[in-house]
Amino acid sequence: MIHLEEPGAAVDDKEREITLREVEARVEALDGIDLTHLLPGTRITVVTLAAGADANEAVSRLRLLDDVEWVEADAEVTPDRSAGATRRTLDGAASDWSLQRLRLPEVYSAYTVGDCRVAVCHIDSGANLSDATRDQYFYNPGEYAGALGIDDDGNGVVDDFFGANFIAGNNNSMTSDLSGHGTATARALTRTAPRVTLMPCKALTEAAVVPFSVAIQCIEWCKTNFENMRAHGGGQVTGIYAASWGGSVSSLALSEAMSAADALGATRALFVASAGNVPAETHFPASSGLANVLSVTHVDRRDRVTGNAGRWIDLAVPAESSSEAAAVAAGVAGLLVSVAPNLTPEELRSALARAAAPLPRTSGASFGRLDAAASFERLRGQGRLARPAGAPDRQPCVPSEVWAPAWPSLPAGSRPCVGGGGGRACWASFPAS
């Protein structure tokens, strides 16, 4: 991934576009290196190498190009789970005690929570549609009103009716889960947040790793959906992104994409990221230090920290793993947005972290345990709740009724957002190429 230098303030948009095209041409002139696409809202270009090409040698060649600020090779991180935790979450046992510790039954009885116009972007190994999560699946109105085999909404993904899959460049809607990890985190999320929509994007490979470049594509896809939802009557200001994965290696490109998702367009972005299951000084992206990241670890039934306990962690959640913890925290964030849709990322972080219950001093933790009821009480005290009383509406969403009329298809000749840039569906301000 290549980051281009930012032109001076005196350079107008036309000159920026010329510079961008010149760099693209120089990249494409290099043997064995192909320009794949531009990341919306950034000056990052993604390139791929020919089979057998040496990555270090390619990075060195790209760094010699004029107008290139930095180059980084793609890297991979892993999901934060254990086989036992995944199995218990699939069985539903883990979520039951977690909901009680979070005081969620009190929330369900006191507030009208859940709104299928509120969504959580679920970047994971997919989620099986036949699972109990199916009633909360995202449906893309820009596609379901269109034709099969056509990218009706112009976002670069054909027939993404209920999800997207960017593994190995598939760019399709097949989000079936082979590992079980995504289905487990999806179930934890939807059990926590009834009637909040799950927006699944598959980024976990068959080798059980998450390439940063694929995670970035998922961010692009989800961001476009959040923008469309906002533009067509949805009240959700902050898109919520659940990332139940991480590792010791970091990525400038992913950091920039996460920042751009928050800074550009009509919607903001809050990333709820798992902090890892074992002690570690860093666990990217949870430890990225970005203002729009909420880093989450997990505690057991006795409030003992059983996951990572770094000082950069914001919150602990009662769960079997930090993967489940991040999913649950993202679900609670979705519930908060369902009753207070104008919440910003900063306000969501504050409602979740500052209302947290203190952990035992023996834990040595600088963070507290998520208390969902206290988070709602905090917002109610601030006069932020738009729907203060009642019970959750557990009826499944009907897209044709919720989003009516359907989003219009992209006009002929327009450029798609993911993989191209510059189309009407794009959320970013990246110059059209």
Q: Which residues lie below 8 Å from residue 166, measured CB to CB, with a gap of 6+? A: 201, 202, 203, 214, 217, 218, 221
Over its C-alpha atoms, the chain yields an Rg (Å, rounded) of 21
DSSP reduced 3-state for 127: coil
Confidence bin at 358 (pLDDT 50/70/90):
very high
CA distance 47 to 346: 34
| Cβ contact 247:216 at 8 Å | no
First-to-last C-alpha distance (Å) of the chain: 18
Q: Which of 3, 37, 122, 181 is catalytic?
A: 181
Confidence bin at 116 (pLDDT 50/70/90):
confident
Q: Which of 98, 179, 323, 338 is catalytic?
A: 323
Q: What is the pLDDT of residue 150?
A: 82
Q: Which residues, listed in sequence order, are joined to residue 433 by a DSSP beta bridge?
A: none
Q: Which residues lie below 8 Å from residue 141, measured CB to CB, with a gap of 6+? A: 228, 232, 399, 403, 406, 407
Residue 218 token pair: 């998922």
Q: Which residues lie below 8 Å from residue 363, measured CB to CB, with a gap of 6+? A: 299, 303, 304, 305, 309
Based on the residue annotation, tell me whether 181 is a catalytic residue of this protein.
Answer: yes
Name the most confidently modeled range: 124-128, 185-189, 276-280, 288-292: 288-292
Statement: residue 400 has pLDDT above 60: no
The pair phi, psi for residue 160, each rounded to 5°, is -85, 65
Sign of the torsion formed by the C-alpha atoms of 301, 302, 305 and 311: positive
- How does pLDDT run across 265-276, given as a tens digit for each residue? 999 999 999 999
Based on the residue annotation, tell me whether 323 is a catalytic residue of this protein.
Answer: yes
Residue 221: left if φ>0, alpha if ψ -120 to 50, beta else—which one?
alpha
CA distance 191 to 84: 19
CA distance 343 to 326: 19
Q: Which of 115, 124, 177, 262 is catalytic?
A: 124
Based on the residue annotation, tell me whether 122 is a catalytic residue of this protein.
Answer: no
Q: What is the pLDDT of residue 360?
A: 86
- How does pLDDT run across 165-175, given as a tens digit for each residue? 888 666 666 66
Q: What is the pTM of this model?
A: 0.86
Statement: residue 395 has pLDDT above 70: no
Mean pLDDT across the stretch 278-293?
95
CA distance 273 to 268: 16
Start-end of H helices in 306-344: 322-339
CA distance 264 to 429: 7
Q: Give the count of beta carbons closer than 10 Å to the beta carbon of residue 122.
A: 33
Q: Report DSSP state, residue 362.
A: G
